[in-house]
């Protein structure tokens, strides 16, 4: 706490000196971070790294020109150099009336307690954290003898604080923690090898899956892919599991960004108020979810966040804006700016999810006479201006409502708008596996290419 107070005093002093040096507006973003990473393989600790860092990013606006610089050195001389360098840089940037800090009326910290900090994390010994990674491996091996080795098993956690100080007199602070556990076992049979993968991540230790459960699920996913092969190509119904449905949802993050709207580089351009998806689709962006992996008390510019329905029953309601692109497009900021001390604010989502539906995932699969259940996507073949995509997929073939043989080396292609409008069922299995998450979904028809295509 003493260190944080000293750093904040220096940041306040820096903002005051920047204003005296002729800036019209300025802000300082300070981060302090402590992270632990443990990698094990076959029970042996391959990596154990504890890292602490801190830094300050300075943003200066003068005569409509903006410049930013950062440093990890809080010595008085270094901060003075940062001030002088940033004031010098701002002279060479282009003037733009939209370079300004957000309206003070929008700014502040939300009053709700989001419970983003877990004090018990510091009380867990390093030995216990190593044991949790070893337990994952042991459970993965015990689940199936076909697991022969591991590509990676890792435990990581961290705590961090962020502070924003502006020339408008705004001072905001937040503190958070996270813990992460992942394993990638390799299953082998008849000379064939397949990798699986599973993880758990949370703000609080008691919200994580047990290590044994992580290992068991990872092994099941690896062994289930043994014998996978491409199937015939054609147009079929497709079921996306929650992890791959979340990846599809993630494609929208860029598409709804105000920066791409301004540049006319998104397939959702001029779609506000239009039906872009099935009536079963409601998509929410919300930074205020307690213990949410993407939750925050304020955005990167200091604006108070709120829950937003990006899509309601298939209709696009809003794009996402920071202060700059809201100004450029004649809109209001949506509290969707994220930043670090080393990078200026950028538009992004905090927690983004597809609201759960009414169909149990088992019933969704049972409704498909012939099609594909997708559990993995490979590559990033999305063309943002058009919405066309082509990506590799793996999973299981569905016949008469049941998962049958494992499938790999197939490609799905189409357009994101057609995919969204073709959603025929949304599952009940919504779990916050990450900051972007979704339940199982069924697409009526999707082009697949594979064997003989």
Query: Which percentage of the chain shows pLDDT scores above 70?
Result: 99
With helix as H, strand as E and coil as C, how does 82-125 read? HHHHHHHHHHHCCCCCCCCCCCHHHECCCCCCCCCCCCHHHHCC
Query: What is the average per-residue pLDDT within 420-434?
Result: 97
Given pLDDT bands bounded at 50, 70 and 90, which one contains residue 381?
confident
Domain for residue 114, yes or no?
no
- What's the domain range around 369? 234-248+356-449
Residue 324 pLDDT > 80, yes or no? Answer: yes
Domain for residue 41, yes or no?
no
Query: What is the average per-residue pLDDT within 53-67?
Result: 97
| Together in a domain, 240 and 365 | yes
Query: What is the average per-residue pLDDT within 46-71?
Result: 97
- The terminus-to-terminus CA distance of the chain in angstroms comes to 63
| Together in a domain, 318 and 444 | no
Work out the burial of residue 371: count CB atoms within 10 Å of its CB; fewer than 13 is exposed, 13-18 middle, 19 or more buried: buried
Last residue of a domain, one of 301, 325, 349: 349
Residue 2 pLDDT > 70, yes or no? Answer: no
Q: Tell me the two tokens of residue 384.
A: 């943002």
| Together in a domain, 15 and 97 | yes
Query: What is the average per-residue pLDDT within 287-296?
Result: 98
| Together in a domain, 219 and 281 | no
Domain for residue 115, yes or no?
no
How far is residue 204's CA from residue 176's CA, in Å, rounded to a whole number?
A: 10
Tally of structural domains, the chain: 4
Last residue of a domain, one of 349, 364, 387: 349
Render pLDDT for 396-408 as a digit per residue (tens, 0 to 9). 999 999 999 999 9
Q: Tell me the two tokens of residue 331.
A: 């809109």
| Together in a domain, 320 and 407 | no
Q: Tell me what pLDDT residue 158 has.
A: 97
Given pLDDT bands bounded at 50, 70 and 90, which one contains residue 424?
very high
Q: Tell me what pLDDT residue 451 has.
A: 64
Given pLDDT bands bounded at 50, 70 and 90, which one contains residue 1?
very low
How far is residue 47's CA from residue 40's CA, in Å, rounded to a whole number?
A: 7
| Together in a domain, 271 and 336 | yes
Domain for residue 266, yes or no?
yes
- Please say whether the beta carbons of 295 and 114 come within 8 A: yes
| Together in a domain, 241 and 330 | no
Which letter does DSSP use for residue 75 in this model? Answer: S
Angle between helices 126-143 and 211-224 (to 10 degrees): 30
Q: Tell me what pLDDT residue 3 has.
A: 59
| Together in a domain, 257 and 243 | no
Given pLDDT bands bounded at 50, 70 and 90, which one contains residue 379?
confident
| Together in a domain, 30 and 95 | yes
Domain for residue 111, yes or no?
no
How far is residue 441's CA from residue 421's CA, in Å, rounded to a whole number?
A: 12
Query: What is the average per-residue pLDDT within 153-180?
Result: 97
Q: Tell me what pLDDT residue 122 has.
A: 84
| Together in a domain, 62 and 143 | no
| Together in a domain, 267 and 238 | no
Gyration radius of the chain over CA positions: 24
Render pLDDT for 242-262 as a digit per residue (tens, 0 to 9). 999 999 999 999 999 999 999
List C-alpha distances in Å: 321 to 110, 303, 335, 338: 19, 11, 7, 11
Residue 130's CATH number: 3.30.2290.10
Q: Tell me what pLDDT residue 194 has.
A: 95
- CA 198 to chain CA mean position, Å: 17
Query: What is the average per-residue pLDDT within 269-296?
Result: 98
Between 117 and 453, name the one with better pLDDT: 117
| Together in a domain, 244 and 362 | yes
């Amino acid at each position: 706490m003493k260190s944080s107070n000293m750093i904040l005093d220096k940041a306040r002093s820096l903002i005051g000196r920047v204003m005296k040096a002729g800036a019209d507006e300025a802000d300082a973003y300070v981060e302090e971070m402590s992270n632990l990473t443990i990698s094990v393989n076959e029970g042996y600790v391959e990596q154990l790294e504890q890292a602490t860092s801190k830094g300050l990013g300075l943003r200066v606006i003068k005569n409509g020109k903006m410049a930013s610089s950062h440093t990890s050195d809080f010595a008085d001389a270094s901060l003075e150099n940062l001030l002088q360098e940033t004031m010098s840089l701002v002279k060479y940037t282009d003037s733009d009336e939209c370079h300004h800090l957000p309206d003070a009326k929008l700014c502040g910290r939300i009053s709700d307690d989001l419970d983003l900090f877990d004090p018990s994390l510091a009380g867990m010994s390093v030995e216990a954290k190593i044991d949790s990674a070893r337990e994952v491996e042991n459970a993965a091996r015990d689940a199936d003898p076909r697991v022969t080795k591991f590509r990676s098993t890792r435990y990581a956690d961290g705590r961090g604080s962020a502070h924003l100080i502006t020339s408008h007199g705004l001072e905001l602070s937040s503190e958070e923690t996270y813990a992460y556990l992942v394993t990638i076992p390799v299953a082998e049979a008849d000379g064939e090898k397949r990798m699986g993968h599973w993880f758990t991540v949370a703000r609080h230790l008691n919200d994580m899956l047990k290590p044994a459960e992580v290992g068991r699920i990872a092994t099941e996913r690896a062994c289930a892919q043994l014998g996978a092969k491409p199937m015939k190509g054609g147009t079929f119904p497709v079921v996306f599991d929650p992890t791959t449905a979340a990846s599809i949802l993630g494609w929208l993050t860029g598409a709804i960004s105000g920066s791409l709207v301004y540049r006319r580089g998104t397939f959702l351009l001029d779609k506000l108020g239009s039906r872009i998806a099935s009536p079963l689709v409601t998509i929410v962006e919300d930074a205020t979810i307690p213990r949410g992996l993407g939750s925050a008390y304020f955005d990167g510019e200091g604006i108070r966040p709120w829950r937003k329905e990006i899509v309601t029953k298939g209709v696009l309601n809003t794009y996402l804006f920071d202060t700059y692109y809201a100004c450029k497009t004649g809109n209001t900021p949506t509290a969707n700016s994220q930043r670090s001390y080393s990078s200026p604010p950028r538009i992004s989502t905090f927690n983004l999810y597809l609201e759960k539906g009414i169909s149990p995932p088992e019933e969704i699969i049972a409704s498909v006479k012939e099609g594909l259940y997708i559990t993995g996507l490979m590559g990033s073949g999305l063309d943002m201006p058009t919405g066309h995509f082509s990506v590799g997929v793996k999973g299981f073939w569905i016949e008469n409502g049941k998962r049958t043989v494992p499938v790999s080396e197939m490609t799905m292609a189409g357009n994101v708008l057609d995919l969204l409008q073709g959603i025929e069922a949304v599952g009940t299995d919504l779990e916050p596996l990450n900051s972007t998450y979704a339940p199982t979904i069924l697409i009526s028809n999707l082009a697949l290419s594979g064997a003989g295509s």
